[in-house]
Amino acid sequence: MSPNLGLIYSEFNFNVLNDCEKTFFLFENYRLDVSRKMLYRDGEELSLPPKAVETLGALIAKSGEIVGKEDLIREIWTDTIVEESNLAHYLHILRKTFGNRADGKPYIETLRRRGYRFNPVGEVTREFQKNAGDKERNDFNAPVFEKESFWKNDLEVFISSANSSSKSHRRTNARFMLAAFIGTLIFGTLFFVYYQRFSGTAENSPAKFKEMSVINLTDNSGIYSANISRDGKYFTYFEFKDKKYHLYLQQTGQPSRLEIIPPTENLVTGSTFSPNGEFIYFVGVEGDNLHGTLYRVPTLGGKMSEVLKDIVTPVSFSPDGSEMVFARYSEESRASFLIIASADGSRERILYKPDAKKTLANGGTWSPDGKAVAFSEIDQIEEAQSGRYSILGVDVQSGETRTLSREKWENCFRMDWTRDGEGLVFIGTRAGEGLSVYRDQVYYLSTANGESKRITNGGNLYDSETMTTTNDNALIAVSVNRHSQIYKTSTADLSNSEVRLTNGQADGRGGIAPVPGERLGFISRNGENLGIWTMNADGSERRQVFNEFSFLEELRATPDGKYFIFAAQKDGLSHLYRIDYAGGNLKQLTDGKSTEVDSTVSPDSRWVFYVSDVFDGENRKKQLRKTSIDGSETVVICDVNGETPNLSPDGKLISLVENNKLKIYSAQNGELLKTLEALKPGAFYTGAKWMPDGKSLVYPVADDKDVLNLWQQPLDGSPPRRLTKFNSGSIYFHAFADDGKTLYLARGEQIRNALLIKNFK
């Protein structure tokens, strides 16, 4: 029996291609740099995620041929398990980048149930630069390496070298050839044994290792709080549309669904199947109430009944379904409790109460043997923001607790035991990774040794309210993928003058800073890090000017065009920093045991205003402050409860957002001058910005379909009015140019899909 060298060779071929130091592919006016994972059009760099470039490279490698979906995933994510949605996402980016050819045919063609094909106009050539000034240019339609010639050429070189040697070296060559032959024989024998051991036939090989699989259960839906039954046959989730929440039941692997409760304007969340699968429990919250009510409804729909009140988390059932555990919070004592109650809501008892200055982070999950409940709690007096979550277990009978995780966590949301009782799965973030692409990922924690393993690979976030397992140790999770590109529009006609400036995946979401002189700065992702970029107002001459922090946010520019202001973390705390327009002369403006994120710059460029979250060792309070542009002088203006400050165009007023209220303060002495009730539901990621005339505030508001549009709210109390008329997507950031004539927007789509993940251990 001989090993399948053809398969090994094809993988080797692509890896060699990627490992070349200077390899380029050229087609039409495009140039693909393989080693640096960059694509250029007419010599100008196109900002694409590295995986998008790898996807393009894999398609170009078989230009004109059909490439199967599975083959693409294997080529791009070698030794990594990813969701099919990742591939679809990068193909979507490439299609938006290339559009269609002049003849209307797409560059990237989808052939149903067969795969994808790259269709360039004209030939694709390969340019391989061995060293400076030494280039080869080949017709790429021929293979990069022919398998036969690859081995043949090496053999010819070896024979030629041997024949050209002098007689005095023949004995040495003979010994070398003998040693090489023996070495080859030993290597071949070991390879054959390895191959037989790990990839042999079904008749003589042991059971193969089961690879993790990820299956899409929904198709680009806006779903929340999914939950799967123990037998894995059904799953539930919520959708918000037409200003109402809808609870759906869907059979796993089937597209049809059943709405099992009437649509409601009240928030519904945290669903759980009873162990026997007969009922679905969920939490409903009325209005602005912080405490919910637990309801129960038959799995296939029917009469909904109230089980108990004053609950803030989903429930988890004992193995026999007779009892459940959940969390409760007392506003009066500011204490939280882990509660056990009967399945009908009666016979409550306190299982665990955190120490003072600690609070529960979730409602816990009952172990399959019924002996323990695992949960997480938050240390509220930790000076740094990072690593405040701990994962614990409590004995149901004795009440004794023990630490289950050796690590500290940035957050730890809903969790569930694996059905074999060997560990926990949960949505969480390791300490120090809260501002990275690895935040809010799916983890497995072994309760035997306290070691964790990240199941998902970053890029997408995961819904914090989704995490339940099946009897065969599969889990359900909801991936959240957010796209963002930068657009500009004229303030004279906000609805009909929009032009897209960028094609990246996360452009402008962390900040857009218009600079005098028809340029602007913005934050964009490049690989795992965020950086500051600049470009012309028409999107041209894009370049990165700063990338010294793994994460930064809330970019602002001084009106004189000299500096960028932004927030970045250091030692677990976020502070404000300044760089010059070219990206140099980094200077920290704020420090101490406080946190600063959002800022706004005075019209004369002398002061930076911000809200500081101050920790005094016991309590936290917020203060409106300002610091000089060089950080040498700091002035406390007043204590506040709001966030996201924005100065008026004349610098006299400053707006803050507090509990859906717009508050206007004097920028001089901090006097509260006016309070306005904001529209609901407002999205105040960057607060309420001022219109150029200083007479009204602008912020995004969601409509019945959860689409965000900008609304203008006058200070004189007259009715608000809608400014933009988008039919889909979200607005993540907006900023007016210094002349007030142009509005820049970072907006895009959010895709939420339920995934079934198997064999993750």
Q: Return the top range by mean pLDDT from 38-52, 193-207, 377-391, 569-583.
A: 569-583
Confirm whether 132 is domain-assigned: yes
- The last residue of one of the domains, among 482, 505, 524, is 482
Return the pLDDT at 19.
Answer: 41
Residues 638 and 498 both lie in one domain: yes
Tokens of 164: 């050209």
Residues 477 and 489 both lie in one domain: no
Are 370 and 392 spatial neighbours (Cβ–Cβ below 8 Å)?
Answer: no
Task: Output 242 or 301, whichever has higher pLDDT.
Answer: 301
pTM attached to this predicted model: 0.64
Provide the number of structural domains found in the chain: 4
Residues 409 and 461 both lie in one domain: yes
Helix/strand/coil for 698: strand
Are 734 and 700 spatial neighbours (Cβ–Cβ below 8 Å)?
Answer: yes
Residue 283 has pLDDT above 50, yes or no: yes
**Cis check: omega of the bond before 120, within 30 degrees of 0:** no
Per residue in 305-337, pLDDT (tens digit) is 999 999 989 999 999 999 999 999 887 777 899
- The last residue of one of the domains, among 436, 452, 482, is 482
| Mean of all residue pLDDT scores within the chain | 81
Across the range 615-640, mean pLDDT stands at 88
Residue 191 has pLDDT above 70, yes or no: no
Residue 644 has pLDDT above 80, yes or no: yes
Residue 171 has pLDDT above 60, yes or no: no
Residues 111 and 231 both lie in one domain: no
In 10 A of CB 737, how many CB atoms?
18
Residue 204 has pLDDT above 90, yes or no: no
Are 130 and 136 spatial neighbours (Cβ–Cβ below 8 Å)?
Answer: yes
Residue 145 has pLDDT above 80, yes or no: no
Confirm whether 759 is domain-assigned: no
Residue 446 has pLDDT above 60, yes or no: yes
Q: Each residue of 239-274: b (16+ CB within 10 Å) or e?
A: bbeeeebbbbbbebeeeebeebbeeeeebbbbbbbb
Residues 6+ apart with CB under 8 A from 621: 613, 614, 639
Q: Which domain holds residue 456?
A: 213-482
Are 589 and 578 spatial neighbours (Cβ–Cβ below 8 Å)?
Answer: yes
CA angle 140, 141, 142 (to 5 degrees): 85
Residue 468 has pLDDT above 90, yes or no: yes
- Residue 606 dihedral angles phi and psi, to the nearest 5°: -95, -25
Which has the minimum average pLDDT: 147-156, 490-499, 505-514, 675-684?
Answer: 147-156
In 10 A of CB 133, how many CB atoms?
6
Q: Give the CATH number for residue 10.
A: 1.10.10.10
Residues 74 and 187 both lie in one domain: no
3-state secondary structure 76-108: HCCCCCCCHHHHHHHHHHHHHHHCECCCCCECE
Q: Which amino acid is at 85?
A: S
Helices and strands per DSSP (H, E), number in the chain = 6, 58
Q: Which amino acid is at 672?
A: L
Residues 58 and 190 both lie in one domain: no
Residues 188 and 263 both lie in one domain: no
Return the pLDDT at 22.
Answer: 65
Query: Residue 159 class from Cβ within 10 Å (0-12 exposed, 13-18 middle, 19+ buried)?
Result: exposed
Residue 156 has pLDDT above 70, yes or no: no
Which has the minimum average pLDDT: 362-371, 520-529, 657-666, 732-741?
Answer: 520-529
Return the pLDDT at 200.
Answer: 43
Return the pLDDT at 397.
Answer: 93
Per residue in 354-403, pLDDT (tens digit) is 988 889 999 999 999 999 999 999 987 654 456 789 999 999 999 999 99
Confirm whether 391 is domain-assigned: yes
Cα separation, 529 vs 549, whole angstroms:
8
Q: Partners of 520 in the beta sheet?
A: 514, 535
Question: What one-character DSSP code corresponds to residue 172?
Answer: H
Cα separation, 618 vs 664, whole angstroms:
29
Task: Output 603 or 176, whichever has higher pLDDT.
Answer: 603
Confirm whether 60 is domain-assigned: yes
Return the pLDDT at 150.
Answer: 26
Residues 476 and 492 both lie in one domain: no
Residue 158 has pLDDT above 80, yes or no: no
Residue 203 has pLDDT above 70, yes or no: no
Please choose, from the candidates 654, 651, 629, 653, the residue with its C-alpha nearest in 3D space to the C-alpha of residue 643. 654
Return the pLDDT at 319.
Answer: 95
Question: What one-character DSSP code corresponds to residue 506?
Answer: B
Query: What pLDDT band is residue 581 in, cutting at 50, 70 and 90?
Result: very high
Q: Partners of 210 in the beta sheet?
A: none
Return the pLDDT at 282.
Answer: 93
Residues 6+ apart with CB under 8 A from 104: none
Cα separation, 319 vs 183, whole angstroms:
59
Residues 639 and 717 both lie in one domain: yes
Q: Return the top range by mean pLDDT from 31-45, 196-210, 551-565.
A: 551-565
Cα separation, 409 vs 386, whole angstroms:
7
- The last residue of one of the domains, among 145, 172, 190, is 145
Across the range 87-111, mean pLDDT stands at 78
Across the range 145-165, mean pLDDT stands at 32
Cα separation, 565 vs 556, whole angstroms:
5
Confirm whether 176 is domain-assigned: yes
Confirm whether 245 is domain-assigned: yes
Please choose, from the candidates 30, 56, 160, the residue with its C-alpha nearest in 3D space to the C-alpha of residue 108. 56
Helix/strand/coil for 1: coil
Query: Residue 493 class from Cβ within 10 Å (0-12 exposed, 13-18 middle, 19+ buried)?
Result: exposed
What share of the chain in percent tops pLDDT 70?
Answer: 82
Segment holding 18, helix H or strand E:
helix 5-19
Which has the minimum average pLDDT: 54-58, 158-162, 194-198, 566-570?
Answer: 158-162
Across the range 14-21, mean pLDDT stands at 40
Return the pLDDT at 113.
Answer: 66
Q: Give the CATH number for residue 602.
A: 2.120.10.30
In 10 A of CB 144, how many CB atoms?
16
Helix ranges (H only) for 410-449 are none
Return the pLDDT at 574.
Answer: 87
Query: What pLDDT band is residue 10 in, cutting at 50, 70 and 90?
Result: very low
Confirm whether 671 is domain-assigned: yes
Q: Measured on CA atoms in the order 59, 61, 65, 70, is the torsion positive or negative?
A: negative
DSSP labels for 282-346? EEEE-TT-SSEEEEEEETT----EEEEEEE-S--EE-TTSSEEEEEEEETTTTEEEEEEEETTS-
Return the pLDDT at 551.
Answer: 82
Return the pLDDT at 198.
Answer: 41
Residues 131 and 161 both lie in one domain: no
Across the range 132-136, mean pLDDT stands at 41
Residues 6+ apart with CB under 8 A from 571: 384
Residues 596 and 696 both lie in one domain: yes
Query: Residue 529 class from Cβ within 10 Å (0-12 exposed, 13-18 middle, 19+ buried)?
Result: middle
Residues 273 and 174 both lie in one domain: no
Please choose, from the candidates 311, 324, 744, the residue with its C-alpha nearest in 3D space to the C-alpha of residue 538. 744
Tokens of 575: 């502070």
Cα separation, 150 vs 628, whole angstroms:
66
Return the pLDDT at 112.
Answer: 66
Confirm whether 207 is domain-assigned: no
